[in-house]
Amino acid sequence: MAIHKAESPLPGLLYHKPEPDAQPFKAPGDAVALGDTLALIEVMKSFMPLEAETAGTFKGYLIDDGEHIDAGDHFCEIEG
């Protein structure tokens, strides 16, 4: 089993949840399918979904909810 670190193509603010009081998109142990939304990036007053490019098991976020992220930064780990 390899650990894949998902990378953000965009700089902005990372959100783990679709809305402030919603559950996170993924919790450790959740199954991840290709194309699943893992997080949102806020940039240019828009929210862009970051979708899974590998399937597997979600291990956790690497950047806190609402924190700044740079393009190329890893934001979560998926084991698969």
Residues in touch with other proteins (CB under 8 A): 9-13, 42-46, 48, 68, 70-72
The one-letter amino acid code at 18 reads P
Listed residue (19, 61, 11) closest to 38, CA to CA: 61
Q: Tell me how far, at minimum, the Cβ of 19 lies from other proteins, in Å.
A: 17
The one-letter amino acid code at 10 reads L
Between 50 and 76, whose beta carbon lies closer to other proteins?
50
Q: Tell me how far, at minimum, the Cβ of 57 lies from other proteins, in Å.
A: 26
Between 27 and 34, whose beta carbon lies closer to other proteins?
34
Interatomic CA distance for residues 70 and 72, integer angstroms: 6
User: Per the structure block, which two tokens stand in for 7?
Assistant: 């990378």
